[in-house]
């Protein structure tokens, strides 16, 4: 054999070794790519704990969004469907009707519908809700607490440092896993 053929054989061997080495590196990279998500920390989102919330009104004014990403939520399974709803009516309402002067919500975000004497259903129009917590405070003070606040993640910017969380006097805001973004009052609201 001539020296030219030997050089060709040697470069083929090197090529074969290099190809096998590259395949091994690619296989290890693929295995690492599959295993890497298991070690990643879950994506976290902001949420407020309704059991810590003091209905201070900061959610309506401190959020970077207008209106706030914090909205009132209604736990229907706990609601008494009362004619006199502490979250719907002013504490000193002269009549128990739907007149604006008798309503507690400044934006009329709570919709009242007659069910059967003496029962009414109350639903929240989240597009009108500003997160002021007046209805939540009324429901907690004069009712059974079926109204509470939650951060709505389809609206929330998920700021690294939430302006509402910084201003919250009760430290009710915390980061929770995005897979379970809502904090309920016990089993409330799980419909």
Q: What is the pLDDT of residue 188?
A: 42
Q: Is residue 49 part of a domain?
A: yes
Q: What is the pLDDT of residue 189?
A: 42
Consecutive 10-residue runs of the chain (191 residues): their mean pLDDT?
Answer: 51 62 60 56 92 96 96 91 92 89 95 93 96 96 92 94 96 94 65 39
Q: Is residue 133 part of a domain?
A: yes
Phi, psi for residue 148 in degrees, rounded to 5:
-155, 165
Q: What is the pLDDT of residue 190?
A: 44
Range of 106's domain? 3-33+43-190
Q: What is the pLDDT of residue 14?
A: 65
CA 156 to the chain's CA centroid:
8
Q: What is the pLDDT of residue 35?
A: 53
Q: What total number of domains does the chain contain?
A: 1
Q: Is residue 38 part of a domain?
A: no
Q: Is residue 124 part of a domain?
A: yes
């Amino acid at each position: 054999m001539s020296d030219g053929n030997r050089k060709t054989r040697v470069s083929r061997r090197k090529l074969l070794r290099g190809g096998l080495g590259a395949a091994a590196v690619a296989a290890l990279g693929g295995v690492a790519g599959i295993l890497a998500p298991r070690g990643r920390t879950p994506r976290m989102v902001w949420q407020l704990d309704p059991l810590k919330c003091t209905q201070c009104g900061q959610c309506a004014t401190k959020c970077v969004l207008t209106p706030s990403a914090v909205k009132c939520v209604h736990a229907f399974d706990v609601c008494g469907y009362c004619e006199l709803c502490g979250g719907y009516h002013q504490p000193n309402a002269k009549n128990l009707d739907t007149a604006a002067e008798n309503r507690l919500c400044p934006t009329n975000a709570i919709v009242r519908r007659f069910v059967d004497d003496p029962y009414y259903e109350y639903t929240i129009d989240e597009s009108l809700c500003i997160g002021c917590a007046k209805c939540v405070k009324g429901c907690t003070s004069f009712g059974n607490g079926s109204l509470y606040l939650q951060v709505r993640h389809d609206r929330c910017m998920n700021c690294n440092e939430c302006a509402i969380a910084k201003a919250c006097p009760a430290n009710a805001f915390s980061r929770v896993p995005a897979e379970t973004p809502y904090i309920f009052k016990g089993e409330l609201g799980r419909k």
